[in-house]
Amino acid sequence: MIGHEWVLKLLENAVRKGVLSHSYLFTGPDGVGKRTLALEFAKYLCCKVSLPPCGSCRDCQEVLGRTHPDLKLLEPENGSIKIEQMRELHREAFLAPHRSPYRIFIISDMDKATPEAANSLLKILEEPPLHSLFILTATSAELLLPTIVSRCQVFNLRPVPESQIQEFLEKSWGIESSKAHLLARLSEGCPGKAIMFIQEEELFKKREEDLEAFFYILKSDTVTRLEWAGEFGKDEERLKEMLKWWILAARDMLLILEGAKEKVVNADYLGKLEAAAVKLGKEKTRTGLKEMRSILTALHRNANLRLALDVLMLKLPGFSQEV
C-alpha cells in the first residue's frame, strides 16, 4: 500500500473489535489505490498470524495472488459488470467459508455495472449472509444507486502526497530521482498512474504527441485547425485521452500566470507552457480551458464526434506566432 494509512487504521480497529460492516465502498479516481486497498483489507480478514497481517503466510500470499478460496474478485467484462456475474455471486455468497471467517467479494468498478447487475447486488445487500463481506470500488459514490451506497461504509480515498509516490518509485522501482519526480507529478496523487507510465512506455509517448498537438493547434489558423480535425477526429477514445492532456496543459498555463510554476504537472514542458501562457494571457487561457472541458463533457454524453471537434477548433483561443 502507498498512502491511505488512515483507512487501514480504521479497518484494523474494526477487525480487532469485531465490529465489521457487511459491505464497504472505496471511492476515488482511477489509479489512487482502491483495489490494492481492498486486497490489503482482505489480508486483514484472512491472516491468522498477526494483525496487521504478516504478508508472508499462506493466506496472505493467496490473497495477493487472488487464489484464496474465500476471496472472489469481480471485474467488468467487456466494459461492464453484468447480471450473470451477480447471479454467480449470489450462489457463492451463501456458501460457508473454507478457512477464513468470511467469504470476501471484491467488486471492482461497481460504477460500470449494468442496471440489472446493480439491482441484483442491492437485493443481496438488503439481507446479506452473515459470513459474507462485500468490498466495492467506484470512482464516485454518486455513480451508484443511493440504496447501495446507504448500505455500505464509505471511504473516499484522498490523493497520495507527491513526495510519497516519488519515494516509492525510487525505492521499489529503481527509478532515477528526476524521472520519479516527474512521474509523481503526472500521477496527480494516483500511484497506479505512475506505475502505468513505467510499465507502458507507449503512454508516455502518446502524452508527448498530445502536448505537441496542443501547441500546434494554439498557433494554427482556422483552416489548418479544421483540416487537422478532419484527419484526427475519427477515434473518440483517443480524442478523449488527448483532451485530458490539453486540459491539464491549460491548467498548468494558468498556474504559471498566477506565479505558481512549482505546481505545474507537465514540468518537463515548462518552457513551452510558459511561452504559450504569456502569449495567450489569463482570459484566453481560462476561455480555452472552459471550452475543452465543455467538449469533453459533451463527448461523454455521446455528442457527435466530428461536430464536437469542429466546434472546439472554432472556439479554442490561439495565436499566430510560433511557440
What is the predicted pLDDT for the residue at 323? Answer: 39
d(CA 26, CA 37): 8
Q: What is the DSSP letter of 219?
A: T
pLDDT at 322: 42
Q: Which stretches of the chain are assigned E, i.e. beta strand?
A: 23-27, 71-74, 103-107, 132-138, 153-156
Q: Which residues contact 276 (CB under 8 A, 6 or more apart)?
A: 215, 218, 253, 323
Q: What is the pLDDT of residues 241-267, one digit of tens each?
A: 999 999 999 999 999 999 999 999 999
Closest CA to 69 of 38, 23, 39, 104: 104
Give me the chain's average pLDDT, please.
Answer: 93
Per-residue three-class SS string for 201-217: HHHHHHHHHHHHHHHHH
| Percent share of the chain, pLDDT over 90 | 89
Task: Label the pairing between strands 153-156 and 23-27.
Answer: parallel
Residue identified by cell 489569463 is 282
DSSP H or E stretch at residue 245? helix 236-257
- Collapsed DSSP state (helix, strand, coil) of residue 304: coil
> Locate cell 451506497: which residue?
149
Q: Give pLDDT, residue 98.
A: 94
- Is pLDDT above 90 for 177? yes
Whether the predicted pLDDT of 112 surpasses 50: yes
Q: Does the pLDDT at position 321 exceed 60?
A: no
pLDDT at 303: 87
Q: Of 64, 319, 318, 29, whose CA–CA distance to 159 is shortest?
A: 29
157: which DSSP letter?
P
Model confidence at 148: pLDDT above 80: yes
What band does 301 get if pLDDT is binned at 50, 70 and 90?
Answer: confident
DSSP state of 68: -
Above 90 in pLDDT, residue 90? Answer: yes
User: Per DSSP, what are the bridge partners of residue 138?
Assistant: 27
Average pLDDT (271-297) is 95
On whether the CB atoms of residues 154 and 185 are closer than 8 A, the answer is: no
The C-alpha atoms of residue 286 and residue 299 are separated, in whole angstroms, by 20
- pTM (two decimals): 0.84
pLDDT at 176 exceeding the cut of 60:
yes
Q: pLDDT confidence of 320, banded at 50, 70, 90?
A: low
Cβ 257 vs Cβ 249: under 8 Å:
no
Query: Does residue 201 or residue 72 have the better pLDDT?
Result: 72
Q: Is residue 139's pLDDT more than 60?
A: yes
Mean pLDDT of 274-278: 96
C-alpha cell at 244: 485530458
Mean pLDDT along residues 29-49: 95
Specify the length of the chain in residues.
323
pLDDT of amino acid 12: 95
Per-residue pLDDT at 17 exceeds 90: yes
274 contacts: CB under 8 Å, gap ≥ 6: 256, 261
Cα 177 versus chain centre, distance: 24
For residue 292, the 8-state DSSP code is H
Confidence of residue 1 (pLDDT cuts 50, 70, 90): confident
Per-residue burial over 224-259, b = 16 or more CB atoms within 10 Å of its CB, e = otherwise:
ebeebbeeebeebeebeebbebbbbbbbbbbbbbee
Question: How far apart, in whole angstroms, are the C-alpha atoms of residue 282 and residue 42?
Answer: 49
Residue 234 pLDDT: 80
- Distance (Å, whole) CA 137 – CA 111: 8
